[in-house]
Amino acid sequence: MFGIEPAVTASAPGRVNLLGDHTDYNRGFVLPTVIPRKTVVEAALGGGMHEVYSATLDRLVRFGPGELVEFARYVGGCVRVLEQRGIEFPPLKLRIDSDVPVGAGLSSSAALEVATLRALAALLGAELDPEQAAALAHRAETEFAGVSCGIMDQMACSLGQAERMLFLDTMTLERRLLPLPAGTELLVIHSGVPRSLATSAYNQRRAECEAGAALLGIESLRLVHDARSLERLPSPLRERARHVVTENARVLAALGADAVGFGALMNQSHTSLRDDYAVSVPAVDALVAALQQAPDVFGARLTGAGFGGCCVALVVEGTAVGTGNQITKTGFEFLPTVVVPSPYS
């Protein structure tokens, strides 16, 4: 694209969340893992304006200092948060390529932010540990991309490891890498429905949680210790809070669970996301129900923010082989297309 070799190349994977959705901005618990699909950022010093080429979109954008342009606003946000730390930026040339599907609930934006920060740090010889990279990526997203998200995605993309679940306490950032339940693997399937209205509805849910916590006189819903106290809340704040409180409990229960127990928690999580948190859509519900009834599936749920996108299922090891969508012990294949179409797709 630019007629030069990259000076540095960095990458970061997407993630799939197994349990603990809409808990992170309530300072709760999450349990994601990385997927073997990633975003690659090649970088070199340029001249004039910053130039960012997306091979995925086949689009080139140019922007000056402080500007946030189209898809490059994620890159621009990363530049800005590093500048705020006193790092001076010469004009950059970046080439981005990614096989993390966009709008699927698999954190394509966090993968782009973490990969960009890794590339920029390497290019300028700056130290950036994985926790700092996650924190800066999170600031790039919340301050410059307009989503009031929690820290899960950036932590997962920065610190996650293949075939390990990242248990993260988003209040303390205490974390542990854990194996999947014995004899299982993961299947990730797109519902065929792109996420819609995700940003506004997401920010609205977050506001509802904060309103609920304020009415209860606590800083965050993480601090609810007795679920009966939620009965005081008006609807729908009561239902939103009930999801968060029960979802946190499910993540903790999953830590020692076998495959059957873990799957049951995933099924309960989907019901809670659908009925109490109201972030599912009919196509996702239909796909999850089909998965839950399928042989060799321990449990299934929507994953990520909701409003469309992917479902994740915990299945008997070996079951997903051949679908092209399994995370196996040795690797991952994930077809770019919808593999199991829902009745609505």
Q: What sign for the dihedral angle of Cα 150, 206, 145, 13?
A: positive
**Which is closer to ligand GLA, CB of 150 or CB of 263?**
150
Among the listed residues 58, 97, 99, 153, the single catalytic one is: 153
| Spatial distance between the Cα atoms of 35 and 98, rounded to a whole number of angstroms | 13
**Which is closer to ligand GLA, CB of 17 or CB of 325?**
17
| Spatial distance between the Cα atoms of 227 and 237, rounded to a whole number of angstroms | 13
Build a one-symbol-per-residue string for 120-149: x at contacts with ligand GLA by CB under 6 A, - elsewhere.
Answer: -----------------------------x
Question: Minimum Å distance from CB 307 to ligand GLA?
Answer: 10
CA neighbours within 13 Å on the CB side: how many for 341? Answer: 4
Question: Minimum Å distance from CB 168 to ligand GLA?
Answer: 11
**Which is closer to ligand GLA, CB of 24 or CB of 285?**
24
Joined tokens for residue 315: 């299945």
**Which is closer to ligand GLA, CB of 21 or CB of 185?**
21
| Spatial distance between the Cα atoms of 222 and 16, rounded to a whole number of angstroms | 22
Using CB under 6 A as the binding rule, whether residue 152 contacts ligand GLA is answered as yes
Q: Which of 262, 244, 240, 243 is nearest to 253 (CA)?
A: 262
Q: Which of 113, 112, 72 is nearest to 92 (CA)?
A: 72
Q: Tell me which residue has its CB nearest to ligand GLA.
A: 149
| Spatial distance between the Cα atoms of 175 and 167, rounded to a whole number of angstroms | 5
CA neighbours within 13 Å on the CB side: how many for 141? Answer: 26
Site for ligand GLA in 245-264 (CB under 6 A): none
Build a one-symbol-per-residue string for 20-39: x at contacts with ligand GLA by CB under 6 A, - elsewhere.
Answer: -xx-xx--------------
- Give the list of residues 6+ apart from residue 187 with CB closer than 8 angstroms, or none: 291, 297, 312, 313, 315, 319, 320, 323, 325, 326, 327
Question: Minimum Å distance from CB 208 to ligand GLA?
Answer: 13
Contact with ligand GLA (CB under 6 A) among 14, 28, 76, 150: 150
Using CB under 6 A as the binding rule, whether residue 160 contacts ligand GLA is answered as no
**153 an active-site residue?**
yes
Using CB under 6 A as the binding rule, whether residue 51 contacts ligand GLA is answered as no
| Spatial distance between the Cα atoms of 128 and 162, rounded to a whole number of angstroms | 21
Question: Minimum Å distance from CB 152 to ligand GLA?
Answer: 5
**Which is closer to ligand GLA, CB of 154 or CB of 342?**
154
Just list the catalytic residues: 153
Residues that bind ligand GLA (CB under 6 A): 17, 21-22, 24-25, 149-150, 152-153, 304-305
